[in-house]
Each structure stands twice: as C-alpha cells, then as structure tokens.
Structure 1
C-alpha cells in the first residue's frame, strides 16, 4: 500500500526503518525541503495516519546524501550512512548518540542579597531538570532450551493481547542457538506463549501500561516434556483482587489448557492455587483453593471430564521465591497445574 503524499514526494524516498515501538518510522528523502540530496526524516503513526515528516536536522543531516538510518530499541543510538568531509572516501557509516534537550545556561550559581556586609544572604538557583525522551518499548530476549537435556531448541513463540485474546505476532526461536527476541510496545497486557510439539506450553505475562519506559528483560525458557509430576505455572490466569472471580484476560490461557486436555485424552491434572505470605495463613489457603476450583469449574463447563481434574489450595506453603521482595511475592501468587496421569 502506498503511504500517500504525506510521506512520498515526486523525488526519491529510500531506506525505511520502523522502530520496535511499532509506530515511529525513519526514512530518507530528497523531498520535504531537504538540506540537499537525501535527508533523514521521522514520522509517527497516530490517530490512524502518519504525521508530517520531521527533518532530523543538522548535525545529523548534511547538504549531501544521508541514508539508511536505523536506531536502537532504547532510542539512544542511531546508525546511518553519510557523505562528510571527515570521511574515508565516499559514504561512511556513523554512529549518533542522542543526548536529549540541551539545558539552558545558568549564568549565576547564586543570587547575592546584601543583608549585611558581614553575612550576606545567599539563594542557590538550580538548573531546571530536562527530561530525556526514551522509547516506550520493552525488549524481551533469552534462550529456549529442553529442560532435561539443557540443549537449545527451536520453538514457536506467540505474542498475545490478553485483553482481546488475540495473537498479534508469532515467530520461531533460533534452531541452532535457541535464542529469541521480542519487541513489546507499551500499553498492552501481553501473554507470551512458547510451544513445541511433544512439550507442555510455557507462558509469561508482561502487563505494560501506556508510557512505560524502555527496558530490557532477560528470560531463559526451559520447555518441559509431558510427564507425571511435571508442574507448569499458568502466568496468564488473572483473578479480581482478593476474589476467586476469573477475569476476561484469563480466557486465552484457559483455552490453551482446555486444548491440551482435549488433545491428550488420558491426561490428568491437579490445578493448584498459591499465595504470598501476606495475611493470615488460613485465609490465604482458602482463597487459593477457591481460585483453583474456579479454573476446574471453567474447564468442566467446557466439556472436560471432571474425573480428570482435581484442585488444591496451598496458600503460602509452597513459595517459589522469597517473600521478602515485591517481585518475589508476585511470583508466589500463582496458579499452576501438575500432571498426575497421562
């Protein structure tokens, strides 16, 4: 699809690059009032259309050709080809470091108020803070392995919008190294599902509010083969606060569990609920049991034989991380299943 006259001109447009945030496009053009030859421009997709291209200006652009611009996911460094006087001949490759807006100069560090000759009153003036814009995207990367052999493996990775229960991207980890990299623009509750024939699926959750700053997350994933005693955490099952009511964002994960049970007729599972250690142990155990029961009732309501399912609430008795940190407590608040028969 031609992007139209907002982006394209009667002159040449080259070297398009879409930032991992999914909405910022960089390209080179001989039009749009360039400084000469090709200049680098930026346009942002918002409200269903591309914004008028913005010339990145001097010192990035020159009167000669500046092309094939790319930028890191963090938005801090850019790389491109440019013809400059300090080059080694014709076009050379350059790196740009974006420092953010320049602070206004502070001409006087303090204001002298002459209250007396002996002890003047001094008022310190601080330079106003200058915010440096960062890309609103999270980079998730790591290695997919076989849990038993520890060897890297190729697997399918689905990126899901939990609020819509919709797969928005699907790709493979590297067959030789097992490595993967996912770009997650802010503003979506993401489910990440890693799956491979002969293995139980693995899920992760990243709820990224709009405006969440750039970050990189390392997450190695060990896939487990279907065997009695194996446990899998269901990271995309959500409940209302302090209740056993399943939220609609849980639908995709529940459907994956239903599909696993349907495709493996002999499979039997224990669904278990777990909490952190905040609150009374008796209450936590009761809440975790009611939540596990809610998952079983959903599956039975979808046609799964209730004889294949059991449920249990363990409260805070089986932590997987220390309860001394917020991150640890979050890991301990979970729903999981254990294979009891196959």
Structure 2
C-alpha cells in the first residue's frame, strides 16, 4: 500500500505460509515498520506516520478485538486522501470477541548454581516434542540468571540447558491449551559435574513395553554424546528404571535392555565402550509413588551416574 508495509505469515506444518498484507488501517501510504506483538497476543505495536500522530515516526498501539476482517484495499488516490482525511478511519469500538485457538504462554525464570546461588548465563534449547522442530535457542542473562520466552500453549516441549562444568539439564514441559494469556515461572538450580552425580534423562522415550528408542529421544541422546566429547575423561553408568506394573523379573529385564539400548547408541555415535556401563534396576528404586499415573511416569526413567572425571 505504501513504502514499507506490515505483512503476516503463519507457521503451519513446519513451513511459513505466503506473506499477506494486513491492509488498512494498519498500513498507510507511508512506511509502516517494526511491528511486534505483545506476549498476551492482544496488542501490537509498530512505527508509522499518521495524521493524529505527534511527530515524524510515532509508535502506535493496535488492539485486536476479534476475528480477522476482510482487508480493505484502496486506490492510490484514496490512500493519499485517507492520510489527510481523519474521518476515513472509523473510531467505533468493536465489542470484544472470544479468542480462537491456543494463546501464547510466557515462560520465565532464573537459573542459578546450587552451591553458590550465583546466577548463571547458560544456553537454553527448546524443541517441539511432536514435530522435533527447534523452537528456540538462547542464553540466560549472565548477570541476573533470568530468561524469558513466549511459547504456544497446548504443546509438549523438550527443555534443556547446556553449560560448561555442569551436566546438561533436561525436562519435559507439558503446557496445556488455554485461550487466555498465562505466565509460567520455572526457576532452575544446576549442580556442577562431580563423581556420584545422578542426572535423569527426561527426554528419552521408548516404544511401549520395548527397549527400542523412539525418534523423540535423538536430541537428548546427542546432548549426552556432546557432553562425553566435551569431557574426554568422563565415565558414566546408564541406568534403567520402571514402575511396578508387571512382574519383578519382567521389569528388571526391560530396564536393563533399555539402558543397554542407550549405551549402544552412544557407542555407535563414537563414544568408547570402556567409558560406559549400564544397569537395570527394574522397580527397585522409585522416586515417586506408584499409586498414580504421574508417579508411575516419574518412575519410568533413564538416568546416568558419573563414575569418574
């Protein structure tokens, strides 16, 4: 419509759709630039020149009041006229409409060292567990340890942290769907790598009642490979654990086979076999009660323990 305009594109099935001009009254015959959306998805901000502005480049607030409206197009003459004729822009306040689809969630927190409580600047990686697509990679603030990111709700994410002198941290983030803005605070404490340290590999998954690794496990396994390569003296034991469903003998065998599958992947990725051990513990070392689905899920886990540095 003018020099620079605001366009929109959606990320669907791993690809961006063809950009579409958002049209009038956002875009003008002049340059409309630097558009950004607030974390709650209800407002937008951008810089442009409008007749009701104060100077050459003002920041304007847009409030989204409902479903998308049909784009209004204008001839070059009408575009020029709209800049001069303020009455062309309707000032009628539309009634709010219920938001459709899942809203954004603001994930924030602080990352600190366990012993000193000092803030840490570390690399945070987030992936979509369903599509396996990376969602973000960024560093927490080295002075404050704080991090902040907006994520679509209604998804399962793999959340991991990498930092020198620390074993990597990983966790599954299940963010339920919501149609309103939410904030989630997640503070994280990291403990330096030392003999005896035990780390749960939260993002390793197996097929049901089998020891075969699922594709969703690859990113987590590769983080273990990187850690082993970064610390050549490191030796670890991979341990498998189950819940109490099934016989003791069955669970013992399944846990050992799963731990063995992880070691096989690490060896296939170039890690020397003499740096790795594996062991199955079956249901003998629960970390939660087995009387709930949540507790049993926590008990079905893969861990590694530092044997030597």
1:315 aligns with 2:282: yes
Match of 2:37 among 31, 48, 71: 71
Match of 1:331 in 2: 298
Give the secondary structure class of the aligned counterpart of 2:261: helix
Aligned-CA RMSD value: 4.2
Shift of 1:272: 1.3
Q: Deviations over 1:278-312 (max 9, x none)?
A: 44454333322221121122223444343332222
CA contact under 8 A between 1:273 and 1:334: conserved in structure 2?
A: yes
Shift of 1:48: 4.7
Match of 1:234 in 2: 201
Give the secondary structure class of the aligned counterpart of 2:216: helix
Shift of 1:326: 3.9
Change (3 A) 1:94 1:306: closer
Give the secondary structure class of the aligned counterpart of 2:142: coil
Match of 1:13 in 2: 4
CA contact under 8 A between 1:76 and 1:134: conserved in structure 2?
A: no
Match of 1:269 among 232, 236, 246: 236
Change (3 A) 1:95 1:262: closer
Shift of 1:53: 3.1
Select the structure that is richer in strand. 1
Match of 1:53 among 21, 40, 44: 21
Measure, in 1, the Cα distance between the counterparts of 2:208 and 2:271.
27
Match of 2:185 in 1: 218
Measure, in 2, the Cα distance between the counterparts of 1:157 and 1:212.
24
Shift of 1:42: 5.3
Match of 2:137 in 1: 170
Change (3 A) 1:186 1:289: same
Measure, in 2, the Cα distance between the counterparts of 1:220 and 1:304.
32
Measure, in 1, the Cα distance between the counterparts of 2:202 and 2:183.
19
CA contact under 8 A between 1:272 and 1:337: conserved in structure 2?
A: yes
Measure, in 2, the Cα distance between the counterparts of 1:99 and 1:49.
21
If the length of structure 1 is used for normalisation, what is the TM-score?
0.63
Bigger radius of gyration among the two: 1
If the length of structure 2 is used for normalisation, what is the TM-score?
0.69
Shift of 1:260: 2.3
Measure, in 1, the Cα distance between the counterparts of 2:24 and 2:244.
53
Match of 1:196 in 2: 163
Select the structure that is richer in helix. 2
Q: Deviations over 1:226-259 (max 9, x none)?
A: 1011111112211111211111222222222123
Shift of 1:179: 0.9
Shift of 1:194: 1.0
Measure, in 2, the Cα distance between the counterparts of 1:45 and 1:243.
35
CA contact under 8 A between 1:163 and 1:248: conserved in structure 2?
A: no
Aligned residue pairs: how many? 275
Measure, in 2, the Cα distance between the counterparts of 1:206 and 1:295.
22
Change (3 A) 1:160 1:96: closer
Alignment of 1:175-190 (within 5 A): 175-185=142-152, 190=157
- The structure, 1 or 2, with the larger RCO (C-alpha pairs under 8 Å, 6+ apart) is 2
Gaps of 5+ in 2: 69-96
Measure, in 1, the Cα distance between the counterparts of 2:244 and 2:149.
33
Measure, in 1, the Cα distance between the counterparts of 2:289 and 2:51.
56
Give the secondary structure class of the aligned counterpart of 2:243: coil
Measure, in 1, the Cα distance between the counterparts of 2:34 and 2:232.
54
